[in-house]
Amino acid sequence: MPRRDDIHSVLIIGAGPIIIGQACEFDYSGTQACKALKEEGYRVVLVNSNPATIMTDPEFADRTYIEPVTPEAVEKIIIRELAELKKIGTDGKLVLLPTLGGQTGLNTAMELFRTGVLEKHGVEMIGAKADAIERGEDRERFKELMLEIGLDVPVSGIAHNMDDAWAIADRIGKFPLIIRPAYTLGGTGGGIAYNRDEYEELTKKGINLSPVNEILVEESLIGWKEYEMEVMRDKADNCVIICSIENFDPMGVHTGDSITVAPIQTLTDKEYQIMRDASFAIIRAVGVETGGSNIQFSVNPDNGRMIVIEMNPRVSRSSALASKATGFPIAKIAAKLAVGYTLDEIPNDITRETPASFEPTIDYVVTKIPRFAFEKFQQADPTLNTQMKSVGEAMAIGRTFKESLQKCLRSMEIGRAGLGGDGKGWRVGDTVYGDRDILPRDLITQKLTTPNAERVFYLRHALRAGLTVDEIFELSKIDRWFLTQIQQIVDCEEELASVGASA
Amino acid sequence: MAILALEDGSVFHGKGFGASATSCGEVCFNTSMTGYQEILTDPSYKGQIVTMTYPEIGNYGVNPEDIESYQPHVSGFVVRELSPVVSNWRSSESLDAYLKVNGIPGIEGIDTRALTKKLRVRGALNGVISTENLSDEEARQQAADWPGMVGADYAKVVTHKEAFAWEEHEQPNEEFTLPQGADSSPAPPPLPPADIPIVAFDFGIKYNILRCLRRHGFKVQVVPATTTAEEVLSYQPAGLFLSNGPGDPAALDYAVRNVKELVDHGLPTFGICLGHQVLGQALGAKTFKLKFGHRGANQPVKDLESGQIEITSQNHGFAVDDNDLPDEVQVDRINLNDQTVEGLKHRSKPIFSVQYHPEASPGPHDSQPLFQRFRDMVAKV
């Protein structure tokens, strides 16, 4: 299918100022999209209030608005640009590509849709339509949709009294359970119950606090394995997986704060293919017509039960990683798909001879490690949870996981040469331990149990303190495959140390 | 120490695993990132020493469900790094232990990327793998002396020796599914009745082909590669299936003759991989050896009629030549990477075949609708 000739100008909304959770990754995708669309001869109109982005450099768009990324400002820009098109004397349309500017860009576009601005001015959204974005972003609708297409979601139920609540607890069958009262401000009164007593207490409190005396009880997935799939779809309904990702940190830590590894390491082909089929079923059911989506899954390590966590119907943080990890430029291809091309019509950037309608297969391992700056945010709680706290990340490629992990730790600019053994000390509060000191066991236990920025280093401390892989797994739920790889690095350190000592 | 030597004189030293053994074979590479157990047990790899390009292998161990035939068939297995631990809830043993029990030597810790690049430039090379302290000199000699794959009829070696009804086999036919939570609909649909009898030629058939056929309501009689057309017809089949398998398709003149007779008899026919090559020859086409085969799970195939693209699982070193195809045979699918023939169909008779593996295992499920196409085709006749 050829590119669309009815389009004259494409409006791209950038991500605005940098905040935690939305930084240069969306400049990366937006810049790629600008380049790809210009290459196709479209006029590119860009809105972004952040001048420290590459996309706002003069050569990337035909017209750049350094204006607030708000619905009001964007509406004014739309009016101005439509007048511009009239002046140029073209019949071509102005369209809006909302999926490449992160959540801010997407929210702004959706706001313009909901308030009727897009309809009023006849501006079409390309890439993903508003109803698809809604289906992907609205948690309840998404969950219902998943059940409709036969996929699995956390077991849950709504309770108005203790009898309901016990029935739900029985149906789920195990603790911990998550309690969320309905319509309380900021979810006040919710929590996690680890046993019957806590459950009864939280349930009663939640029902009382809720103005409609209602709570949602949901099974907890904390400690389950977490996976991500980067999917692309074109308008001929060809779907491909660009990259599969396994999180080193299990469920409970935001993916942006997790160490992540590509490709998936611990699923058999049968299990991987089920996840692949599910990814395609999801992008089709949600209705993202063209472009990329990121879909997150959780897998029970004991029986393989696979749960759909969420989908981002847009280019996401992981897309930049997946692009660099595989050489498949997701944002660039997404932009071309949005204007009508199909995957087999776009050449593969790496081979130049074969088409983009393939699934990258790699002969290396990619590791990404988040970078934190808690020293700059003294009041912030350094415990990692479902709210993203990292301020950056580093990625490394190695022929083995061990190589990529060590390389990535060296890339973090935190002064370490890897997991340890580099002669540098370890600061814990006011105490400084030597590089090869054995740290106190209660400190190690605590650092393994509660996710934190240094946890990966405490895996080394734990192994050197004599904890076994199984003991560390029980505390951290980090997969034994990863733990054994770290064990091998520690073994190597010990071997080198003993050679050094005897020399 | 273990050794891998190639006919061009190059030698790789690594650490042995699996069985203590020495064996010759054609060294090839597979680019799938998952599915090593299915690859090991795929009879199409008979006579081959398989290198995985993905470096971390053995991570999820092996289990009793993911087998594709009665035993592993590779001559040897080459990996960059063998996992020292197994991490998967379905695993029953380690890859190392599995290969040991099955007498297959493995080598790890060699530069599989350098090996793959060599194979990509030179094409598949004969080689020897040994975990028995073979000297470089002995290894080179054995690699050079091995006769090679061209003209080799391995189908005769791997085919079941006796005909059998798949229904009586102990393999489960239901689709592999994961446990679901209480809120989700229960998974696999029950099997439909097996109401269409067909005969499947076993040139080295994968179990998942048989499972897929059964799931589409076929009652499958599996027959050895050398079965005559007359014997096939004695089962009164409504359709004919031609399986995948190892070796040089040009060596299967007996099968080509039998298939030609059955096709002329009017049996609706579906062929996969080697079966596609046998069918191609029966219809008057020729086959040739690819410089380096297609082995992996990410090969893009275009359906020339619908324009749709399937990401396919492939494993073949030979292909059907699209020159001099008889007029009644049409190429309906091509590989988007090198434009080679991926699918054939007869213009007037109910006959079609694909070079790739719609049964996947390992690989994507994109091409599963081909089994329904076969069902519809047979049901119509």
Tokens representing A2 are 């050829």
pLDDT, tens digit, 9 for 90 and up, residues B108-133 = 999 999 999 999 998 889 999 999 99
Pairwise CB contact (< 8 Å): B363 & A273: yes
Q: What is the pLDDT of residue A126?
A: 95
The DSSP secondary structure of A399-445, one letter per residue, reads SSHHHHHHHHHHTTSSS-SSSS-SS--EEETTEEE-TTPPPPHHHHH
Higher pLDDT, B161 or B149: B161
- CB contact A2 to B (< 8 Å): no
Chain A residue closest in CA terms to B84: A484
pLDDT, tens digit, 9 for 90 and up, residues B256-290 = 999 999 999 999 999 999 999 999 999 999 999 98
Q: How confident is the model at residue A421 (pLDDT cuts 50, 70, 90)?
A: very high
User: Which residues of chain A make contact with B299, given a CB cutoff of 8 A?
Assistant: 358
Q: How confident is the model at residue A502 (pLDDT cuts 50, 70, 90)?
A: low
Whole-angstrom distance, CA of residue B39 vs CA of residue B53? 13
Q: What is the pLDDT of residue B123?
A: 85
pLDDT, tens digit, 9 for 90 and up, residues B215-256 = 999 999 999 999 999 999 999 999 999 999 998 898 999 999
**Between A276, A307, A354, which is nearest B337 by CB?**
A354
Higher pLDDT, A183 or A236: A236
B92-116 average pLDDT score:
98
B310-334 average pLDDT score:
94
User: Which residues of chain B make contact with A342, given a CB cutoff of 8 A?
Assistant: 307
Pairwise CB contact (< 8 Å): B56 & A365: yes
Give yes or no for residue A273 having a pLDDT over 90.
yes
Strand-pair category, A215-219 with A124-125: unpaired
Whole-angstrom distance, CA of residue A455 vs CA of residue A459? 7
Whole-angstrom distance, CA of residue B90 vs CA of residue A301? 10
Active site residues of B: 273, 357, 359
Give yes or no for residue A501 having a pLDDT over 80.
no
* Torsion of the alpha carbons at B63, B66, B71 and B76, rounded to the nearest 10: -90
**Between B33, B179, B309, which is nearest A344 by CB?**
B309
> B45: distance to nearest CA of chain A, Å?
18
Chain A residue closest in CA terms to B61: A268
Pairwise CB contact (< 8 Å): B362 & A269: yes
How buried is residue B290: exposed, middle or buried, by Cβ count under 10 Å (0-12/13-18/19+)?
A: middle
- CB contact A479 to B (< 8 Å): yes
Q: How confident is the model at residue A380 (pLDDT cuts 50, 70, 90)?
A: confident
Whole-angstrom distance, CA of residue A466 vs CA of residue A449? 17
Tokens representing B84 are 């020292």
User: Which residues of chain A make contact with B182, given a CB cutoff of 8 A?
Assistant: 155, 171-173
β partners of residue A178: A192, A218
Q: What is the pLDDT of residue B370?
A: 97
Q: Highest-confidence range of A128-137, A353-362, B12-21, by mean pLDDT?
A: B12-21
Higher pLDDT, A339 or A352: A339
> B182: distance to nearest CA of chain A, Å?
6
Q: What is the pLDDT of residue A351?
A: 80
User: Which residues of chain A make contact with B178, given a CB cutoff of 8 A?
Assistant: 152, 271, 274, 303-306
Q: How confident is the model at residue B149 (pLDDT cuts 50, 70, 90)?
A: confident
pLDDT, tens digit, 9 for 90 and up, residues B175-196 = 999 999 988 877 677 899 999 9
Give yes or no for residue A15 having a pLDDT over 70.
yes
Q: What is the pLDDT of residue B185?
A: 79
> B174: distance to nearest CA of chain A, Å?
13
- CB contact A276 to B (< 8 Å): yes
Which region holds residue A29: left if phi is over 0, alpha if psi is between -120 and 50, else beta? Answer: alpha
**Which are the contacts of A86, defined by CB distance < 8 A and separation ≥ 6?**
none
Pairwise CB contact (< 8 Å): A481 & B59: yes
The pLDDT > 70 percentage for chain B reads 100
Q: What is the pLDDT of residue B124?
A: 86
- CB contact A76 to B (< 8 Å): no
Pairwise CB contact (< 8 Å): A240 & B311: yes
- CB contact A170 to B (< 8 Å): no
Pairwise CB contact (< 8 Å): A150 & B90: no
Phi/psi of residue A501, each to 5°?
Answer: -65, -35
CB A293 within 8 A of CB A311: yes
Interface test with A, best of B309, B310, B342, B367 (most A CBs within 10 A): B309
Pairwise CB contact (< 8 Å): B183 & A306: no
B308-326 average pLDDT score:
94
Pairwise CB contact (< 8 Å): A302 & B55: no
* Torsion of the alpha carbons at B323, B327, B328 and B331, rounded to the nearest 10: 30
- CB contact A468 to B (< 8 Å): no
Tokens representing A278 are 């599910």
Q: What is the pLDDT of residue A353?
A: 82
Chain B residue closest in CA terms to A278: B365
**Which are the contacts of B136, defined by CB distance < 8 A and separation ≥ 6?**
B3, B5, B11
B15-31 average pLDDT score:
97
Pairwise CB contact (< 8 Å): B298 & A365: no
Give me chain A's average pLDDT, please: 93
Give me chain B's average pLDDT, please: 95
> B332: distance to nearest CA of chain A, Å?
16
pLDDT, tens digit, 9 for 90 and up, residues A87-111 = 999 999 999 999 988 888 999 999 9
Pairwise CB contact (< 8 Å): A156 & B183: yes
pLDDT, tens digit, 9 for 90 and up, residues A295-318 = 999 999 999 999 999 999 988 888
pLDDT, tens digit, 9 for 90 and up, residues A146-163 = 999 999 999 999 999 999
User: Which residues of chain B make contact with A236, given a CB cutoff of 8 A?
Assistant: 307-309
B154-168 average pLDDT score:
95
User: Which residues of chain B make contact with A404, given a CB cutoff of 8 A?
Assistant: none
Q: What is the pLDDT of residue B318?
A: 92
Give yes or no for residue A364 having a pLDDT over 90.
yes
CB A368 within 8 A of CB A258: no
The pLDDT > 70 percentage for chain A reads 99
User: Which residues of chain B make contact with A147, given a CB cutoff of 8 A?
Assistant: 183-185
Q: What is the pLDDT of residue A18?
A: 86
User: Which residues of chain A make contact with B342, given a CB cutoff of 8 A?
Assistant: none
User: Which residues of chain A make contact with B179, given a CB cutoff of 8 A?
Assistant: 300, 303-305
Pairwise CB contact (< 8 Å): A358 & B113: no
Whole-angstrom distance, CA of residue A412 vs CA of residue A400? 19
Whole-angstrom distance, CA of residue A282 vs CA of residue A143? 11
- CB contact A240 to B (< 8 Å): yes
Give yes or no for residue A190 having a pLDDT over 90.
no
Pairwise CB contact (< 8 Å): A273 & B178: no
**A455-464 and A441-449 helices cross at what angle (nearest 10)?**
140
What chain B holds in terms of domains, given with CATH numbers, is 2-145 (3.50.30.20), 155-173+190-380 (3.40.50.880)
Pairwise CB contact (< 8 Å): A354 & B85: no
**Mapped to the 3 state alphabet, what secondary structure does chain B carry?**
CEEEEECCCCEEEEEEEECCCEEEEEEEEECCCCCHHHHHHCHHHCCEEEEECCCEECCCCECCCCCCCCCCCCCEEEECEECCCCCCCCCCECHHHHHHHCCCEEEECCCHHHHHHHHHHHCCEEEEEECCCCCHHHHHHHHHHCCCCCCCCCHHHHCCCCCEEHHHCCCCCCCCCCCCCCCCCCCCCCCCCCCEEEEEEECCCCHHHHHHHHHCCEEEEEEECCCCHHHHHHCCCCEEEECCCCCCHHHCHHHHHHHHHHHHCCCCEEEECHHHHHHHHHCCCCEEEEEEEEEEEEEEEEECCCCCEEEEEEEEEEEECCCCCCCCEEEEEEECCCCCEEEEEECCCCEEEECCCCCCCCCCCCCCHHHHHHHHHHHHC
A90: helix, strand or coil? coil
Q: What is the pLDDT of residue A1?
A: 65
